[in-house]
């Protein structure tokens, strides 16, 4: 329902321009299934009673999504509303009538989502929306894992690190934090599996949880090498197309390097989905202590990455640009590789959960 804006909502400017932020928010307004997501949270949301009436559910959900899209804390997003007219318009706040929800209210809404584990359900609901839009999963899956850093310093009140975060070695460099394991559809690059673990869990340990069982091909980097039997048990009809890796001091032959380069052309598509979460949403470092809170943020970020990364496939619109604008001569787009992969319903294959295996 539209409201007449007061003078606080619109000034007397003669000139203006649609910024990239305003264009991005306009596309998210159209793509995100707000009604379905609000219906999912509504049973857990406080009801009006004798005390102060709660802020509207959809408004709080929009504020929460803004925090993910622009990597803002509760105090930062509150201050951003007083500076950005496009963000106020997206949420529906008119400073001539009402104040911005304070940071405590915003924080309590996040705690509500974490307490009822609604981040995973939001991801599943987005998948159901994709299915309603006619989207289907192919029978090819690309798996990968990425490290999300956590503070390794012990200069805090407890003089200890986060006990649920652990270190992992990549190459000759040690990293401390958590891991985000994702499975991406090979044809559309949309995420259909998300698993959150501590940093010391090897990528291959989570492989069975990333497959939906109906794959005909599985791609992955060399961390998944030698997992043919695991793939066969989880997806009996799948072909192991993970990267080949040399054993001991033996180098790969020229033929094996050629095979790896060919497989990398498909495997690299998973980096686009991960890049949306880490580079566009800037989820490169954990914001909270504990795997549950950061896992909930990961699940919501994966859900929000679907309409951002797949906007053109879902709604026939151009993919928005949230990060820095590219300069120089535009790169010629190469034709996409043709896949002879069967498709199946999207929502029934969604999975998002912490990993409890060995």
CB 235 within 8 A of CB 208: no
Statement to judge: residues 75 and 164 lie in one domain: no
| More reliable by pLDDT, 135 or 183 | 183
Nearest 10 degrees: Cα torsion 35, 38, 40, 46:
-150
Residue 349 confidence class, pLDDT cut points 50, 70, 90: very low
Statement to judge: residues 198 and 273 lie in one domain: yes
pLDDT at 350 over 70: no
Statement to judge: residues 247 and 347 lie in one domain: yes
3-42 confidence digits (pLDDT tens): 665 655 556 677 888 899 999 999 999 989 999 999 999 9
Statement to judge: residues 177 and 97 lie in one domain: no
Statement to judge: residues 72 and 211 lie in one domain: no
Q: What is the structure's pLDDT at 210?
A: 94
| More reliable by pLDDT, 253 or 8 | 253
Is there a domain that residue 154 lies in? yes
Mean pLDDT of 89-116: 94
Mean pLDDT of 223-228: 92
Q: What is the structure's pLDDT at 172?
A: 86
Domain of 95, in residue numbers? 20-116
Statement to judge: residues 106 and 146 lie in one domain: no
CB 83 within 8 A of CB 1: no
Statement to judge: residues 148 and 103 lie in one domain: no
Statement to judge: residues 163 and 284 lie in one domain: yes
Which of 116, 148, 177 is the last residue in one of the domains? 116
Statement to judge: residues 87 and 197 lie in one domain: no
Statement to judge: residues 143 and 239 lie in one domain: yes
- Number of independent structural domains in the chain: 2
Statement to judge: residues 94 and 166 lie in one domain: no
Statement to judge: residues 109 and 241 lie in one domain: no
Is there a domain that residue 329 lies in? no
318-330 confidence digits (pLDDT tens): 333 443 333 444 4
């Amino acid at each position: 329902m539209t409201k007449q804006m007061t003078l606080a909502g619109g000034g007397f400017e003669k000139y203006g321009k649609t910024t990239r932020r305003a264009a991005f928010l306009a596309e998210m307004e159209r793509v995100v299934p707000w009604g379905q997501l609000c219906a999912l949270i509504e049973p857990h949301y406080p009801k009006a009673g004798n005390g102060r009436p709660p802020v509207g559910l959809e408004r709080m959900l929009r504020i929460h999504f803004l925090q993910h899209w622009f990597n803002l804390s509760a105090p930062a997003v509150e201050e951003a509303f007083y500076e950005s007219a496009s963000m106020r318009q997206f949420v529906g706040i008119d400073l001539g009538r009402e104040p911005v929800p304070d940071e405590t209210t915003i924080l309590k809404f996040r705690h509500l989502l974490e307490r009822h584990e609604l981040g995973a359900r939001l991801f599943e609901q987005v998948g159901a929306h994709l299915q309603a839009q006619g989207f289907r999963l192919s029978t090819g899956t690309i798996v990968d894992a990425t490290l999300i850093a956590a503070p390794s310093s012990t200069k805090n009140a407890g003089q200890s690190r986060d006990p649920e975060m652990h270190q992992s070695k990549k190459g000759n460099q040690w990293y401390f934090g958590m891991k985000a394991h994702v499975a991406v559809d090979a044809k559309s690059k949309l995420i259909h599996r998300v698993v959150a673990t501590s940093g010391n869990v090897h990528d291959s340990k989570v492989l069975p949880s990333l497959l939906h069982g109906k794959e005909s091909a599985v791609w992955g980097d060399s961390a998944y090498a030698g997992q043919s039997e695991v793939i066969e048990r989880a997806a009996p009809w799948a072909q192991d197309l993970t990267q080949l890796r040399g054993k001991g001091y033996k180098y790969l032959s020229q033929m094996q390097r050629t095979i790896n380069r060919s497989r990398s052309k498909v495997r690299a598509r998973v980096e686009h989905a991960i890049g949306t979460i880490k580079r566009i949403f800037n989820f490169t470092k954990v914001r909270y202590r504990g795997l549950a809170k950061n896992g909930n943020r990961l699940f919501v970020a994966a859900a929000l990455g679907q309409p951002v990364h797949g906007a053109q496939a879902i709604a026939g619109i151009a993919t928005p640009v949230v990060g820095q604008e590219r300069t120089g001569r535009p790169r010629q787009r190469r034709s996409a590789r043709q896949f002879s992969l069967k498709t199946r319903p999207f929502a029934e294959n969604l999975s998002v959960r912490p990993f409890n295996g060995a």
